[in-house]
Chain A
Amino acid sequence: MVEEARQTVLVKKLVEPAGERRRRNVVKALISHLVLTVMALSALAPFVWMVLASFKPLEEVEQINPLPTVWHPENYVRVFEQIPFARYYFNSVFIAAWVTFLQCLTSAMAAYAFARLQWKGRDHVFRLYLATLMIPGVVTMIPNYTLMVWLHLLDSYIGLIVPAAFSAFGTFLLRQFMLTIPPSLDEAAKIDGATHWQIFWDIILPLSRAGLITLAIFTFMGNYGSFFWPLILIKSEHLRTLPIGMLYFDTNYGRQTNLIMAASVMNIIPLVVLFLVSQRFLVRGIQLGAIKG
């Protein structure tokens, strides 16, 4: 029965003229491209509107003609004149960079202990640690805020950076990468008299480069756009990050939609560039991150 069906399919493939089969495949590919293009355009449309609006004079933003009659690149300059946008940029990048560095370091060290060292109860401790990922951020947010009040760290770079510098997810991700390194390497190094720190720093870290880059990109992107914690922690204007600065620009400066769109474009450009250059790592990281330990 099965054999018979196989024969018919094979015969059909042989009998059908090659030209017809090719034509059918071309039609199929065309339909797929059509659907994909429509979807891609709907993903893009809001961005296109945003970019066009950012070059328009204010009165044209609300008109239906898509293109500005006269292009106004100076909208971008005016953003910097109205709000300390450069300062917001610096704060966002500065804080995200520090968080990224610290998180990669602490996560890599913990991942080394979970992936490369042998100790009793290791896998139980790891599973327990992983379970803490489900604790909702909003539960820890209020106590952490009061902690910052007690430590006088409200409205400070340290208060914005340090609480974000530890991550169970980062530990999990790097552990997955470190498990793929053959154990013979550390054993050989140990025989040569290397300390654990040397094995970690000189052998395991360089070999986990792909994992570290992936984690670094995730962490940087996440913290660049971080909203809740900076929103409750920042009081003074000079510490505002891009999301917080954008929020107040939007609420306090009235309806300057063209300038707000210019600021939004500048806000997301670094993310788009970072994504384009690091796609390879990100896609793999997302797929690896979903595999349960």
Chain B
Amino acid sequence: MSYRRRRKPGVADDRAIAWLFLLPNFLGFAVFTAGPVLFSLVVSFSNWNLQRTIPFQWIAFENYAELMRDQQFWLYFINTLYLMLGMPVAIAGSLALAILLSQRLRGIVVYRTLFYLPSITSGVALMILWKALYNPDFGPINAAINAVSEALGLNMRAPEWLLSTANLLGLEVERVRVSAQQFGLGARDALIIMGIWIAIGGNNMLLYLAALTNVPQELTEAAQLDGAGKWSVFRNVTWPQLAPTTFFIVVMSFIGGLQGGFEQARVMTGGGPAGTTTTLTYYIYTKAFEEFQIGYASAVSWILFAIIFVVTLINWKFGAKEVSY
């Protein structure tokens, strides 16, 4: 329940006092968010380099033009999108887990806690752990694959995981092209699998769980009485009721995915092998803090910002419609 007072004519306007209460937060916002965003836009029109050898110059749109010609930028953009391919699997998995958990069973809280563990502990420690798990020679994952392969008498070669440029789409390394030799399981797929493991029982599952308990029982019961089967009830009653939640989750995952991949690259792969796990965020990091090209890095970050802005606009335009189911 929420109480929202309507402003009545004659009621005192608390504007002055409101601004006092907002002051600390807005001051911080102005200094550490609004100012920097504008500053970064301005800088993106310069060749500013933290190494003093290069004289500062305004170069208008040169950074952006350079960006369009920068093949690395496009390859890393594709990497970023490739790493987002795990999203639908993770979201569908979250929904499936939530459906299982929304039944009246014993020990639901225990399951929910266990599922949530990966996402609550995610961070550098977990990435170091997964790096060890993926070790092609000594890691337990390949040990298990080799054991199974031997037991079944298959002559299977276990993937090289984080050391391999292979991938499930067969993308080539230096060019935007597909070839059969590149087909296989490599670093990017390893990161996707880890990402699914982290995300599947996390916040999205909790959101679905809440949404499922909010589906009016009369609706599902009425459908059952009308003789609808399990799948039909889900498809025609539950799924439409979940639409706002699904929409929210997809948009948030999309925005998160576009900015993602930094920790994985820095901790697990160094962006390699051959740049295949370098995402846009990691590219910006290396440009700014390893090559000190602040101007160029700012231009890349503004392109990323623009893409996210468009996604958010789509969210606003269509989100409201979806919610009013």
- Complexed CA–CA distance, A257 and B132 (Å): 8
Residue pair B14, A119 in contact (C-beta under 8 Å): yes
- Complexed CA–CA distance, A221 and B121 (Å): 9
CB of A135 closer than 8 Å to a CB of B:
yes
Is chain A's interface secondary structure helix, strand, loop, or mixed overall? helix
Report A292 CB to chain B, min CB distance, Å.
7
Chain A proximity mask over B271-285: 1 for CB below 8 Å, otherwise 0: 000000000010011
> Which residue from chain A places its CB closest to the CB of B138 in the assembled complex?
A62
From residue 215 to 241 of chain A, which have CB atoms closer than 8 A to chain B? Answer: 221, 225, 227-228, 231-232
Report A109 CB to chain B, min CB distance, Å.
5
Chain A proximity mask over B114-139: 1 for CB below 8 Å, otherwise 0: 11111011111110111111000110
Contacts of B109 on A, CB cut-off 8 Å? 279
- Complexed CA–CA distance, A183 and B1 (Å): 12
Contacts of A257 on B, CB cut-off 8 Å? 132
Residue pair B120, A35 in contact (C-beta under 8 Å): no
Report B230 CB to chain A, min CB distance, Å.
11
Contacts of B258 on A, CB cut-off 8 Å? 136
Contacts of B285 on A, CB cut-off 8 Å? 138, 228
Residue pair A246, B11 in contact (C-beta under 8 Å): no
- Complexed CA–CA distance, A5 and B26 (Å): 61
Residue pair A286, B206 in contact (C-beta under 8 Å): yes
Residue pair A142, B40 in contact (C-beta under 8 Å): yes
- Complexed CA–CA distance, A119 and B22 (Å): 12
- Complexed CA–CA distance, A110 and B31 (Å): 16
> Which residue from chain B places its CB closest to the CB of A270 in the assembled complex?
B121
CB of A84 closer than 8 Å to a CB of B:
no
| Number of residues of chain B lying within 8 A (CB) of chain A | 101
A15-23, A74-82, A143-151, A206-214: which lies at the B interface? A143-151
Chain B proximity mask over A249-293: 1 for CB below 8 Å, otherwise 0: 010000001001101100110011001100100010011001010
Residue pair B39, A143 in contact (C-beta under 8 Å): yes
**For this complex, into which size category does the number of interface residues on chain A fall?**
35 or more
Contacts of B210 on A, CB cut-off 8 Å? 287
Contacts of B224 on A, CB cut-off 8 Å? 9
Quick one: which of B14, B226, B312 contacts A118, CB cutoff 8 A? B14
Report A244 CB to chain B, min CB distance, Å.
8
CB of A196 closer than 8 Å to a CB of B:
yes
Residue pair A43, B3 in contact (C-beta under 8 Å): no
> Which residue from chain A places its CB closest to the CB of B301 in the assembled complex?
A139
CB of A94 closer than 8 Å to a CB of B:
no
- Complexed CA–CA distance, A8 and B226 (Å): 10
From residue 46 to 62 of chain A, which have CB atoms closer than 8 A to chain B? Answer: 46-47, 49-50, 53, 61-62
CB of A117 closer than 8 Å to a CB of B:
yes
B68-76, B153-161, B169-177, B302-310: which lies at the A interface? B302-310
Quick one: which of B35, B97, B121, B201 contacts A271, CB cutoff 8 A? B121
Chain A proximity mask over B241-276: 1 for CB below 8 Å, otherwise 0: 000010010000001001100110011000000000
Residue pair A5, B37 in contact (C-beta under 8 Å): no
Contacts of B132 on A, CB cut-off 8 Å? 53, 61, 257, 260-261
CB of B178 closer than 8 Å to a CB of A:
no
> Which residue from chain B places its CB closest to the CB of A134 in the assembled complex?
B312
> Which residue from chain A places its CB closest to the CB of B283 in the assembled complex?
A138
CB of A181 closer than 8 Å to a CB of B:
yes
Residue pair B25, A166 in contact (C-beta under 8 Å): yes
Contacts of B1 on A, CB cut-off 8 Å? 180
> Which residue from chain B places its CB closest to the CB of A9 in the assembled complex?
B225
Given contacts A49-B140, A138-B259, contact A107 B304 (CB under 8 A): no
CB of A32 closer than 8 Å to a CB of B:
yes
Residue pair A135, B305 in contact (C-beta under 8 Å): yes
Report B201 CB to chain A, min CB distance, Å.
6
Residue pair B308, A260 in contact (C-beta under 8 Å): no
Report B251 CB to chain A, min CB distance, Å.
10
Shortest 8 CB-CB contacts between residues of A and residues of B: A166-B28, A143-B36, A62-B138, A225-B123, A113-B21, A243-B124, A110-B25, A264-B125
Known: A53-B132, A64-B140. 8 other contacts (CB 8 A): A39-B111, A43-B118, A46-B133, A136-B304, A145-B289, A227-B262, A243-B125, A283-B206
Would you list 22 pairs from A and B whose C-beta atoms are within 8 A, ordered by A residue?
Answer: A39-B97, A39-B115, A46-B129, A46-B130, A61-B132, A64-B143, A106-B25, A110-B21, A110-B22, A110-B25, A117-B18, A117-B21, A138-B304, A143-B40, A147-B31, A162-B28, A232-B289, A246-B125, A260-B128, A260-B132, A264-B128, A292-B319
Chain A residues engaging chain B, CB cutoff 8 angstroms = 2, 5-6, 8-9, 29, 32-33, 35-36, 39-40, 42-44, 46-47, 49-50, 53, 61-62, 64, 105-107, 109-110, 112-113, 117-120, 122, 129, 131-132, 134-147, 162-163, 165-166, 168, 171, 179-183, 196, 200, 221, 225, 227-228, 231-232, 242-243, 246-247, 250, 257, 260-261, 263-264, 267-268, 271-272, 275-276, 279, 283, 286-287, 290, 292
